[in-house]
Structure 1
Amino acid sequence: MSVSSVEVNKKPVSIWRNQSFLILLSSTFLLSVANRIYELLLPLILLELTNSSVAVTTMRTAELLPNLLFGIFIGVFVDRMNKKRLALWAIGLQAGLLLCLAWMLKIETEWLVPYYAIGFLLMTCNYGYFNAQVGLVKMNIPTQYLNSANAKFSFIETFVSVMGPVISGLMLLLPFFYNGVLVTAFAYALCFMILSRLSHQPEAPRQARSSFLADFREGWDAFRANKALWMMTMFIMVLNSTMTVVQTTVVIFAKMELGLASSEVALVMAAAGIGGMAGSLLSSKLRMSWGLGVLFGASAIFHMAAYLLMYFSNDYHMLIIALFISGLATSFYSVCAYTFRLEQTPSELIGRISGITGTFFRVGMPITVFASGWVMNSWGTALIFLLAGMVNLIVFFVYRTTFLWKLR
């Protein structure tokens, strides 16, 4: 064999020629469309039904509870099961639940408990799918392409966050709310068909007699032994709480305090998607020049600036600027957090590490979101934005003193 042929063989293949990547990217696109429409429609629907910020935050709390209750163990199930089969089950069940939700809206059900129950079950399935999908990415995409692949996943998600509000706005112009939910269910069904074509890689060999508890302990020990991963997880836990509260609060602020129509709220929220798209295009280059540690820390400063702008907003023009900055920061933050977790985790532990870290990522979210509804009821939305900005500033100063700042 000649030297030239060896060099040709060593030439890296483009990620765009990886069929598994294209299937996973397509499914990410469809689910991002579906989730974005659902996430924007549901709070607006509940505001129309109840005119209550507490009802909206209670629904959001119901959606966050599965991560807290099941997240730390779901990774064990993911590592013990066929990830492709689990992902397909999760997608199929979500499509069915969305059809039930559309039927409830069609018959104009005003009792809120079924909405909370469906939100809880939807997010249980969604979290199971997300953990399985992380494993599928790890198993099907070469390690050297993980940062590039995650940046492209982030780009797709943020591109859809631009288009999702536009689509939601169009849905809200139609005479019935349930049309948007039906579109979401259809997107899940289409994703099911696409993902079923994925050529699933063989699972890592496992000991046939290992117990559930032994599997969990193995994942927990690996997590605790990785100082960088668990320390980064603690910072993400705090930042996620502020980010989720603001994402819920800003819809209520635009609808109830700025007096925007539901379709206008959906269109204004597109600014976050535009910022996110810009961030996903810049994230790989910024990581190479700044390093992952600095980029992650910078995302907290950008978030702080966005939240303080929201605090001072008295019309939708300033809110649009704040949402753009927030979207930019969220893109930097997400690419850093999830790429770092993938890089730090071996394939055979990806489900358990994703489950454990995912639980910590979200452990404060149900509490803060539920409490925020009562805060808004008493003092309005401005206090939420101010507190979120101050927390991000404090986190940045603490983070800056750790070795994580120097991560490349």
Structure 2
Amino acid sequence: MTTLSSTAPSIWKNHAFSVLFSTALFADFSGKIYDLALPLLVFDLTHSSQWMGWMRAVEFLPNLLLALFIGVWVDKSDKKRWSQWMLIGQFTTLITAYLAVEHLAKPLVVLFPCAFLMMAFNYGYQNARMSILKHALPQQMQNLATARISSLYSIMETIGPVLSGAILMLSAIHHVFVLCAALLLLSFWRLHRLSYQENAAILSNQKAPVLKQIAQGWQLWYQEKNMRLITYAVMVINTTGAVFWIQAIYFAKADLALDSLQVSYLVAASGIGGLLGAFSAEKIRAKIGLGRLLIGSIVLESLGFLFPALYSHLFALAASLFWISSIGLYSNICIWSYRQEAFESQHIGKVAGITGSLFKLLMPFGLAASGYLVSDLGLTSVFITCCVVQLLTGLTLCFTRVAKIA
């Protein structure tokens, strides 16, 4: 197994990568606008931290219930065609959500299942995209490709909220869903240009029953001890990060009395920090190793949760989001890179499904509980709890074999 990839300066000349990158550009742009618009819409409809928490929890249920099966289905399918169907599914869901808010007196009845389906289709697309990267690119490009794809998250974190915030000033929040749907159509069109041929030999090895392949994926995951330890840690830090993010939006709206445009600028500022992380992660990994970079980012990110707890001000929240985005992206790149490198291409879909399910296992429960904890204990206590839990998780990893990963 290779755990440290050399830099491949010609990655932008690789046809498969350039198409996948541009496809992801439109899809992730749509996703970031949607991620901001949905909680703002729920707040406007309910003015409730509990409902915001429940909506966010429902979004992560597909990872808990379906990710295992999605991973196997991706391995067994034509990944390009599968990805296109996932994009169409998201497009249909967004139009349905728009029509529900436009015409129904109680749109939450439709928005909850739409939130579930949106995340399910998005996860199916993301899983297939990572599988195509694993199949289409040589091993020495894997780490760099993961870092560059990850940089899109930060770029969209910056551009998406600004654009959606500007649109929100001109129209109702749910009108943003139409823009998101249009971007997904652009992603579909771009993906259609991908010259990608499934490996017939690999597909022929995927004829075993779904449950048997899931069992095989579990065995592969369990035998890879470093991935197992990383997974346990990610289960925790994904939950602390998600709870902080959704309640930070509530804090901005309810306590700081920011309007939707101001919130969008606040979230956009955090994306600038993420760009710093995306384009420096590979160099830092080469110097200190993946394990140390992962652990350091988990520990340092946790400190960002304290900023708004110590100082209830707009600048404290802005600094917190900037810090979390810039430091937190290091851990994401480390996790995704290690998973890409640690498993063979014919198994990456099912392993990604298993780890994707486990990564989000605690999130629905944490998010659903977070709104009630805010009501009972206050935002400050929730932010401090997120910090302490994540800090202990990172420090625990220092005493494991993960710290020695190159």
Same fold (TM over 0.5): yes
Q: Residue in 2 aligned with 1:112?
A: 108
> 130, 137, 153: which is aligned to 1:134?
130
**Distance across 1 between alignment mates of 2:285 and 2:340:** 16
**How many angstroms apart in 1 are the aligned matches of 2:207 and 2:308?**
54
Does residue 1:19 correspond to 2:5, yes or no? no
Letter in 2 for 1:345: F
What is the Cα deviation at residue 106 of structure 1?
2.1
CA distance in 2, matches of 1:208, 1:177: 44
Q: Do 1:139 and 1:201's aligned partners in 2 also have CA atoms closer than 8 Å?
A: no
Distance 1:192 1:389 in 2: 39
Partners of 1:301 and 1:207 in 2: CA distance: 41
Match of 1:157 in 2: 153
Deviation per CA, 1:210-251: give whole Å up to 9, x if none. Answer: 222222222111111111111111111111111111111110
1:13, 1:248 → 2: CA distance?
38
The answer to whether the 8 A contact 2:84-2:191 is kept is yes
Alpha carbons 2:59, 2:119 under 8 Å: kept: yes
Quick one: distance in 2 between partners of 1:282 and 1:210?
A: 42
Cα distance in 2, alignment partners of residues 304 and 55 from structure 1: 25
Amino acid paired to 2:327: A
Partner of 1:53: 49
SS in structure 2 opposite 1:363? coil
* 8 Å contact kept, 1:105–1:177: no
Structure 2 CA distance for partners of 1:226 and 1:104, relative to 1, 3 Å: same
8 Å contact from structure 1 (residues 28, 157) kept in 2: no
Confirm or deny that 1:77 pairs with 2:81: no
For 2:208 and 2:319, locate their aligned partners in 1 and report how far apart those are by CA, in whole Å: 53
Tell me the distance in 2 between the aligned counterparts of 1:61 and 1:312.
27
The residue matched to 1:288 in structure 2 has which SS?
helix
Q: Which segment drifts farther, 383-392 or 201-210?
A: 201-210
Structure 2 residue aligned with 1:6: none
Q: CA offset at residue 35 of structure 1?
A: 0.6
- Give the length in aligned residue pairs: 398
What code does the residue aligned with 1:348 have? Q
Scaled by the length of structure 1, the TM-score of the pair is: 0.95
* 8 Å Cα contact 2:305/2:384 also seen in 1: yes
The structure having more radius of gyration, on CA atoms, is 1
CA distance in structure 1 between the partners assigned to 2:166 and 2:387 by the alignment: 32
Inter-partner Cα distance in structure 1 for 2:115 and 2:102: 17
Cα RMSD for the two superposed structures: 1.5
2:167 to 158, 168, 171: 171
Give distance in 2, aligned partners of 1:258 and 1:139.
47
Change (3 A) 1:376 1:61: same
| Among 89, 96, 101, the residue aligned to 1:93 | 89
Normalising by structure 2, we get a TM-score of 0.95
Residue in 1 that maps onto 2:333: 335
Distance in 1, matches of 2:27 and 2:325, equals 19
5 Å matches for 1:178-217?
178-203=174-199, 204-207=202-205, 210-217=208-215
Q: Which amino acid aligns with 1:135?
A: S
| Structure 1 residue ranges (4+ consecutive) displaced by more than 6 angstroms after TM superposition | none
Does structure 2 retain, via aligned residues, the 8 Å contact 1:75–1:351? yes
Alignment-derived partner of residue 342 in structure 2: 344
Q: Which letter does structure 1 place at the counterpart of 2:255?
A: E
* Alpha-carbon distance in 2 for matches of 1:31, 1:334: 19
Helix, strand or coil: the match of 1:269? helix
* Unpaired segments ≥5 residues, structure 2: 1-6
Is 1:146 aligned to 2:142, yes or no?
yes
Deviations 1:27-57 (A, max 9, x none): 1111111011101011111111110111111
C-alpha separation in 2, matches of 1:277 and 1:313: 26
- Quote the sequence identity (%): 32
Q: 1:105: Cα distance to partner?
A: 2.3
Q: 1:124 aligns with which of 120, 131, 139?
A: 120
Partner Cα distance (2:294, 2:9) in 1: 29
Q: Which residue of 2 aligns with 1:369?
A: 367
2:3 maps to which residue?
A: none
Q: Distance in 2 between matches of 1:303 and 1:231?
A: 19
